[in-house]
Structure 1
Amino acid sequence: MMLEQSSHPRSLRAKDSVLTATTELLAEGGLPAATVDAVSARSGVSKATIYKHWPCRTAIAAEAFGKQMAAAIPQPDKGNAHDDLAEQVRRVSEFYAGPEGLVFAQLLAASVTDPAASPYFRKYFLDLRRAAVAELWQRALDRGEVKPQISAETATDILFGPLIFRLMTGHAPLTAEEADKISAACLHGLLKD
């Protein structure tokens, strides 16, 4: 069960320090480097305080990583559904193709086997990413460019699921060219004629 975070300034500073330290450790060595001991040492926040706010290191990493990805992948606004969605697929593919892709794969795998971490991964990573795509989808719906019977949830799965599958299996590359092929194939069935 996720704990509500305190709004006390000291608690907020500690949380920010922990998330900053975790982001740095993830960048340096992935999830294996982001142990609670390492986060505590880097952030100057005691392990007791860390465990007061998070149940495990994967939960901390999921929150830190989700915030990092939100900042790293801004929403495109190219004026039409095709270009916006294709650009978003390209940006996410590029993110996954970089060092962050390995961290994402590690977090996804750890969240599958760690029930305490799963809610954090969904809230701070998946839900935020899905909400961003839902905004793009809503803009497209408002402009009448996509089929209204297709939900943002379904569109998100269709557009971004192949990227995660490629990342996790390594069966095909995550390049801009391949991202464009994925979005073109997906959008052909999603966009109105």
Structure 2
Amino acid sequence: MTRINDDPRARRSRAAALTAATELLVEGGPERVTHAAVAVRAGVGRATVYRHWPDQQSLLFDALANDVRPLLAFGEGPIRQQLVSQLEQMAEWLNQPVAVSVIATIVERAERDEDVRRIREEMFGHADEHFAGALAAAVERGEFRPGIEGYAREVVSRIVGPLLFQRFMLGARLDKDMVISSVDAALAPWLPNA
């Protein structure tokens, strides 16, 4: 990841190029994020893009990092509803062909590159920490039996794992019924009357 120049023009050109790189990533996957394509999309010179990102790898990493959102984020309210809502949105993105390319790039490169490993952590690694806190609050509200918060990672895996398998290994298009089925199957053992 490159350092940012303090010149306002350099910051603007960098921001425009990063926005363009992220759009190209989302539209067409990692192979679309080239210096030339970013320059055209951002309306800046190719030399400007090279000045901010001297190589293809740093440009791609910053585009990946710019589009990173945590897997799950929780507010107040019933956990099941929040999970279904967020995972429906995730399913919409996963149904796009570019999702396969982006996820595969992150998973593959995270094995040997610390910067990409941090991107993977931001996307997936902290999901169970946030989820554990939300589950503890849900236990207090009587949604689940005590102890579920200690199994947050396992519960997340049991929800998201089948969806990723269905989409990426079997090529299925994810829909609301699949999301609900996955959420309900993972939460069922922890319901108060289970």
Q: Normalising by structure 1, report the TM-score.
A: 0.71
CA root-mean-square deviation: 3.6
In the alignment, the residues of structure 1 paired with residue 23 and residue 175 of structure 2 have an alpha-carbon distance, to the nearest angstrom, of 26
**Does 2:187 align with 1:187?**
yes
Counterparts in 2 of 1:70-85, with a 5 A limit?
A: 79-85=77-83
1:32: which partner in 2? 31
| 5+ residue gaps, structure 1 | none
**Does 2:62 align with 1:63?**
no
User: Tell me, what secondary structure is at the counterpart of 2:53?
Assistant: helix
Of 176-185 and 90-99, the range deviating more from structure 2: 90-99
Contact 1:27 1:99 in 2 (8 A): no
Contact 2:74 2:131 in 1 (8 A): no
Across the two proteins, how many residue pairs are aligned to each other? 186
Letter in structure 2 aligned against 1:66: V
- Of the three residues 98, 105, 109, the one matched with 1:111 is 109
**Does 2:54 align with 1:48?**
no
Q: Normalising by structure 2, report the TM-score.
A: 0.71
**Structure of higher RCO (CA pairs closer than 8 Å, 6+ residues apart):** 1
Alpha-carbon deviation of 1:20? 0.7
In the alignment, the residues of structure 2 paired with residue 129 and residue 7 of structure 1 have an alpha-carbon distance, to the nearest angstrom, of 33
1:94: which partner in 2? 92
Shift of the 137–92 alpha-carbon distance from structure 1 to 2, 3 Å rule, reads farther
In the alignment, the residues of structure 2 paired with residue 7 and residue 127 of structure 1 have an alpha-carbon distance, to the nearest angstrom, of 31
Contact 1:26 1:103 in 2 (8 A): no
**Does 2:173 align with 1:170?**
no
In the alignment, the residues of structure 1 paired with residue 156 and residue 72 of structure 2 have an alpha-carbon distance, to the nearest angstrom, of 16
Alpha-carbon deviation of 1:182? 0.9
1:22: which partner in 2? 21
Alpha-carbon deviation of 1:74? 8.8
Letter in structure 2 aligned against 1:155: V
